Chain A
Amino acid sequence: MKKPVIQFENYSFQYRSQTAPTLHEIDLTIYEGEKILIVGPSGSGKSTLGHCLNGLVPFSYKGEVSGSLKICGQDAKDLDIFSLSKKVGTVLQDPDGQFIGLTVAEDIAFALENDCTPQTQMFDKVAEVSKMVEMEDYLDSSLHHLSGGQKQRVSLAGVMVDDVEILLFDEPLANLDPATGKYAIELIDRIQQETNKTVVIIEHRLEDVLHCPVDRIIVVDDGRIISDMTPDELLASPVLEQCSIREPLYVKAAKYAACDITPEMKPAHLDTFQVESCKGQLVDWFTKVDSPQPREKTESVLELKEINFGYTPGKRTIHGVSFSIEKGEMVSIVGKNGAGKSTLSKLICGFEKPSSGRIYYRGQDITEDTIKERASRIGMVMQNPNQMISKQMIYDEVALGLVIRGVPEAEIKERVIKTLKICGLYPFRNWPISALSFGQKKRVTIASILVLEPEVIILDEPTAGQDFRHYTEIMEFLVKLNSQGVTIIMITHDMHLMLEYTPRAIVIAGGRKIADDSAVNVLADSTIIEKANLKETSLFELAHQAGISEPKQFVERFIAYDREVRQKWQ
């Protein structure tokens, strides 16, 4: 019999500022050395559940607790946040935000400093832990100069110095590119095997976490535990679909093909998944569904010619990038963190001036145009909506650009209302922005750009940190805009997004364009995948295993079919 380390018994929690409890009657036991994944849509209470474990609830976020929670046999009520932090080490979602020190070593040592550890002991411990996460060569590096994956390793090291018993990861994959995410999951797995700690991962990117085995998956929705099963059992059940959590694509494909998935088929990992029994159905389904129509060629709306750029003289960030985007296209620009994607978008919007090369808009040279002049043709939506919103009311925020341009009031009203209707924000027009959810705020920022009637919109990571439902909502909204003739360029490292919504992908690595092809072709090319830190989609492998000779076609048809199914959600 294993020792239970986390025991929720009839546990409920209500935030002080809210009228209804966020967690209802949670009963959950996690045993020593287990690896648990908690999934659930945004607002389901899964993060609150994590906060209960590390003590942020109720110490930082006050509220009413009922029932009991025992951590390592001790009642959480009798512990304070500091003694809890010695038992539960938390790696927060956003690695940038949680760094406290300036350099790697300092940040790792932070918890030790707070324990008054003598300096020499700190040096030893930091050296030891940094080795475990393979960061020993970067001890004196500034945290800002690290890649996303390295940052995450540092934050992991920062909690490992404490010899905690439980490691809690809050959305560890949120800001990582696909290849780095895969590595992060492998690292978590390795550390768990080496140290036999209990690991709790909160994440909605199920397929990516399942890259390494987990013992159980807890599904949370509406503040309740919906299911508590092994991955194989869960994937065979309809629970995920009901909570609108994205299932692994290969499982989804098999389900579309009407295969009967049972836990015995071991669907938790593609390598173990026994497709033999449903090969026939997959092939049948493949021949039955239609392949999507390729879009027709139109005239070029935006063209970059041999763009070179560097932030500091002598150090180039962008090397001779050229591409042309046609009117009405939906294109993604992909590549790993720091490849130069965002820099490219800044160059297009005129935030930065290229050192050489030209930018054309409908054949007209706009390289020398100011930010404001370009803004009426090319709009830019930033990743974090809080960085764009400056008014209290939705109507005012959307109208801002027009008011400043001195548009007559009657016209402003007309255009704002039209835009709000397109964006589905009309019912909220008199609401304060602070009352909106993150996804709705994102829409407000898109609306405030859209109202200026640009022909091209550039979005930086439009779905970062969104769950599957919101992701679908935002993307379908963008597709709708696109079908009305707005050209859309997305900067992303989300492969699902690129595969599903953008027929064409431009891949940037090290400031150079390394591919400009259909999204499916990009993901089928292993050299590009490696150079740009992408990951092959599991659908290819499934098609291979099912003996389908045109795996690319299979992927395309799956995506078209899947989107149609999901459109019914709206």
Chain B
Amino acid sequence: MAVEMLSYIERQSPVHRLTGVTKLICFMIWSSIAMLTYDTRVLVFLFLFSICVFIVSKVKLEEVAFVLLFILLFLMINNLAIYVFSPQEGVKIYGTSHVLFEIGGRYSITLEQLFYQLNVTLKYFTVIPAAILFIVTTNPSEFAASLNRIGVSYRISYAVALALRYIPDIQRDFRNISLSQQARGIDMSRKEKLPKRIKNAASIIIPLILSSLDKIEIISNAMELRGFGKNKKRSWYRARPFQKIDVFTLILFAFILLVSLYATFYDGNRFYNPFL
């Protein structure tokens, strides 16, 4: 089918070769750094680094372009909202005010505000590629096996794997349902007013939920009939042992974490201030 976003993409690359656990831990480290720091230097470094990882992973940009655009749209809305609700946030943070344009009262555009919003944008840019990469390069079953090994109950691990696995299925259903509802005249495009569009969305969501519930019943029966949940433990066909590359990656990321935290906090402030 044409649209399959955010599903596992099989490739031969070092990123794919890492075990799911390694990738999960690295992803968690990565997002904690991005969340904690506002240090532009750290963010720029992380951003460049994530682009490198992206290239190494051999995932093509067009394969994730849709999701990327979608998130960028939200990023834009977010940026606008920050400006609308708190146009002088940058001034408050950096303590100086370099006005670029006067637009009456508090809405004057300041260099500080622009710099602050640049940092917010950078934060997005560091986390998004990493998050997408994590999803598209991790084989769900292998990931479940890894989760189980770091101590998560296998039932929960499997639930996570199934959720990941059903992303493409649900997308396919969604597309089919939305097309057939559009054929009945339900307009989801911008021509319709927003309240009506929200109402119309319900006529796609309800059948989607109902048909997903059917699927859940079938799959849970199928799993039970093949002995899922019988023992306290289970083995994994796709399990992969930790390799050198995993250990190396984890050490690298731990190092990045320490350096970034140091760079961010050594002056006792999360913000890097070029205005002083």
- Interface positions of A (Cβ within 8 A of B): 54-56, 59-60, 81-82, 85-86, 90, 92, 94, 97-103, 105-106, 109-119, 122-123, 126, 144, 158-159, 162, 311-312, 346, 349-351, 371-372, 374-375, 379-380, 382, 384, 386-391, 400-401, 404-405, 448-449, 452
> With contacts A100-B226, A387-B176, A401-B184 known, what are 12 further pairs, Cβ within 8 A?
A82-B229, A97-B222, A98-B219, A100-B219, A111-B226, A114-B228, A126-B237, A346-B179, A371-B179, A388-B207, A391-B203, A452-B185
Who on chain B is nearest to A94 by CB? B218
Instruction: List residues of chain A with CB within 8 A of the CB of B234.
Output: 113-116
The verdict on B121 contacting chain A, using a C-beta distance below 8 Å, is no
Who on chain A is nearest to B204 by CB? A390
Q: Do residues A102 and B226 form an inter-chain contact, with CB atoms below 8 A? A: no
Q: How far is the CA of A90 from the CA of B236 in the complex (A)?
A: 22
From B165, B183, B207, B236, A387 is in contact (CB under 8 Å) with: B207
Q: How far is the CA of A162 from the CA of B207 in the complex (A)?
A: 37
Who on chain B is nearest to A155 by CB? B222
The verdict on B150 contacting chain A, using a C-beta distance below 8 Å, is no
Q: How far is the CA of A115 from the CA of B234 in the complex (A)?
A: 6
Q: Do residues A98 and B239 form an inter-chain contact, with CB atoms below 8 A? A: no
Q: Do residues A117 and B211 form an inter-chain contact, with CB atoms below 8 A? A: no
Within 8 A of A (CB), among B91-136: none
Instruction: List residues of chain A with CB within 8 A of the CB of B237.
Output: 101, 105-106, 109, 112-113, 119, 122-123, 126
Instruction: List residues of chain B with CB within 8 A of the CB of A382.
Output: 176, 180
Q: Do residues A375 and B184 form an inter-chain contact, with CB atoms below 8 A? A: yes
Q: How far is the CA of A100 from the CA of B218 in the complex (A)?
A: 11
- Interface positions of B (Cβ within 8 A of A): 1-2, 8, 139-141, 162, 165, 168, 173, 176-177, 179-187, 200, 202-204, 206-207, 210-211, 214-215, 218-231, 233-239
Q: Do residues A404 and B211 form an inter-chain contact, with CB atoms below 8 A? A: no
Q: How far is the CA of A475 from the CA of B215 in the complex (A)?
A: 27
From A82, A101, A386, B227 is in contact (CB under 8 Å) with: A82
Task: Known contacts A85-B226, A387-B177, A401-B184; decide if A92 and B235 are in contact (CB<8 Å).
Answer: no
Q: List 17 A-B contacts (CB under 8 A).
A: A54-B225, A60-B220, A85-B226, A98-B222, A99-B222, A102-B139, A103-B141, A111-B226, A113-B234, A113-B235, A114-B231, A116-B231, A117-B235, A122-B237, A386-B211, A390-B181, A400-B186
Q: How far is the CB of B91 from chain A (nearest CB, A)?
A: 49
Q: How far is the CA of A105 from the CA of B141 in the complex (A)?
A: 12
Q: Counting chain B CB atoms within 10 Å of each CB, which of A90, A106, A117, A404 scores highest?
A: A404
Q: How far is the CB of A387 from chain B (nearest CB, A)?
A: 5
Task: Known contacts A114-B230, A119-B237; decide if A387 and B221 are in contact (CB<8 Å).
Answer: no
Who on chain B is nearest to A389 by CB? B207
A-B contacts, CB under 8 A, total: 160
Instruction: List residues of chain A with CB within 8 A of the CB of B165.
Output: 102
Task: Known contacts A54-B225, A100-B219, A388-B207; decide if A380 and B180 are in contact (CB<8 Å).
Answer: yes
Q: Do residues B185 and A405 form an inter-chain contact, with CB atoms below 8 A? A: yes
Who on chain B is nearest to A371 by CB? B182
Q: How far is the CB of A98 from chain B (nearest CB, A)?
A: 4
Q: How far is the CB of B239 from chain A (nearest CB, A)?
A: 6
Instruction: List residues of chain B with CB within 8 A of the CB of A387.
Output: 173, 176-177, 180, 207, 211
From B1, B162, B203, B227, A311 is in contact (CB under 8 Å) with: B1
Task: Known contacts A102-B141, A372-B182, A404-B185; decide if A386 and B214 are in contact (CB<8 Å).
Answer: yes
Q: How far is the CA of A60 from the CA of B211 in the complex (A)?
A: 20
Q: How far is the CB of B141 from chain A (nearest CB, A)?
A: 5
Q: How far is the CA of A387 from the CA of B2 in the complex (A)?
A: 19
Q: How far is the CB of B160 from chain A (nearest CB, A)?
A: 13
Q: Do residues A372 and B187 form an inter-chain contact, with CB atoms below 8 A? A: yes
Q: How far is the CB of B190 from chain A (nearest CB, A)?
A: 13
Instruction: List residues of chain A with CB within 8 A of the CB of B139.
Output: 102
Q: How far is the CA of A92 from the CA of B181 in the complex (A)?
A: 30
Q: Do residues B185 and A97 form an inter-chain contact, with CB atoms below 8 A? A: no
Q: Do residues B218 and A401 form an inter-chain contact, with CB atoms below 8 A? A: no
Q: How far is the CA of A90 from the CA of B176 in the complex (A)?
A: 30
Who on chain B is nearest to A400 by CB? B184
Q: Do residues A379 and B183 form an inter-chain contact, with CB atoms below 8 A? A: yes
Top 10 A-B residue pairs of the complex, sorted by shortest distance between their CB atoms: A97-B218, A98-B222, A390-B203, A114-B227, A109-B237, A401-B184, A82-B230, A375-B183, A111-B226, A404-B185
Instruction: List residues of chain B with CB within 8 A of the CB of A113.
Output: 234-237
Q: How far is the CB of A62 from chain B (nearest CB, A)?
A: 14
Who on chain B is nearest to A98 by CB? B222
Q: How far is the CA of A277 from the CA of B182 in the complex (A)?
A: 59
Q: How far is the CA of A109 from the CA of B236 in the complex (A)?
A: 9
Q: Do residues B181 and A115 form an inter-chain contact, with CB atoms below 8 A? A: no
Q: Do residues B206 and A390 form an inter-chain contact, with CB atoms below 8 A? A: yes
Q: Do residues A371 and B231 form an inter-chain contact, with CB atoms below 8 A? A: no
From A159, A372, A390, A405, B226 is in contact (CB under 8 Å) with: A159
Instruction: List residues of chain A with CB within 8 A of the CB of B218.
Output: 92, 94, 97-98
Instruction: List residues of chain B with CB within 8 A of the CB of A449.
Output: 184
Q: Counting chain B CB atoms within 10 Å of each CB, which of A119, A162, A312 scores highest?
A: A119
Q: How far is the CA of A109 from the CA of B181 in the complex (A)?
A: 39
Q: Do residues A102 and B221 form an inter-chain contact, with CB atoms below 8 A? A: no
Instruction: List residues of chain B with CB within 8 A of the CB of A118.
Output: 235
Q: Do residues A101 and B1 form an inter-chain contact, with CB atoms below 8 A? A: no
Q: How far is the CA of A371 from the CA of B168 in the complex (A)?
A: 24
Q: How far is the CA of A116 from the CA of B148 in the complex (A)?
A: 13
Q: How far is the CA of A97 from the CA of B218 in the complex (A)?
A: 6
Q: How far is the CB of A183 from chain B (nearest CB, A)?
A: 23
From A85, A115, A119, A379, B225 is in contact (CB under 8 Å) with: A85
Q: How far is the CB of B189 from chain A (nearest CB, A)?
A: 9
Instruction: List residues of chain B with CB within 8 A of the CB of A114.
Output: 226-231, 234
Q: How far is the CA of A374 from the CA of B183 in the complex (A)?
A: 8
Q: How far is the CA of A115 from the CA of B226 in the complex (A)?
A: 10
Q: How far is the CA of A104 from the CA of B168 in the complex (A)?
A: 17
Q: How far is the CA of A60 from the CA of B219 in the complex (A)?
A: 12
Instruction: List residues of chain B with CB within 8 A of the CB of A103.
Output: 141
Q: How far is the CA of A229 from the CA of B211 in the complex (A)?
A: 39
Q: How far is the CB of B224 from chain A (nearest CB, A)?
A: 6
Q: Do residues B236 and A380 form an inter-chain contact, with CB atoms below 8 A? A: no
